[in-house]
Structure 1
Amino acid sequence: MPMRCGSLVISVLQYYSLDTMVAAPQIVVADANGDNLPEESGKAEAGSTVTVKWPDGSSIQGLTDIN
C-alpha cells in the first residue's frame, strides 16, 4: 500500500507463507523388556488417527491426544 510523504511515495510489500502440511508422525516400535510383545510410542498431531501395520498383516489404530 503506497504511503505519501510530501512528494515522496513509499511502497511496502510484505510476503507471508503458511505451512499447511502436517508433520509425519514419529513412531518407535520396540520390545524393551524382551517379552516378544512390541510396544509403540511416538508423536503425532493431537486428534490424529494413527494406524500401525505389523509384519503379519494385522494392524491397530489409535487416536492421539495432546500428550
Structure 2
Amino acid sequence: MDEGHVQWRKSSRSQHGGEGECVEVSTNLASVTLIRDSKAPGMGHVVLWSGEMAGLLADIKAGRFG
C-alpha cells in the first residue's frame, strides 16, 4: 500500500461535539478503507477490505457495540 497517496477526511459523525470520539477515514485506495484516530494519527491505522467495512458499518448501525 502506497501511504503517500492516502487522503484522510474526518468522519462526518466526528465533527459534532468537539471532544467526542473522532475518527478519520480514507477511501481513495482501491478495495480498502483505512480508519485512524484523528487525535493520534501517528499511532497507526486499521485496514479494512470492502466487505469488512460493510460488515462493521452494519454492526454499528445494529447497535452491536456499546
Q: Do they superpose with TM above 0.5? A: no
* TM-score between both structures, scaled by the size of structure 1: 0.35
Structure 1 or 2: larger strand share? 1
Structure 1 or 2: larger helix share? 2
* TM-score between both structures, scaled by the size of structure 2: 0.36
Q: Which has the larger radius of gyration?
A: 1
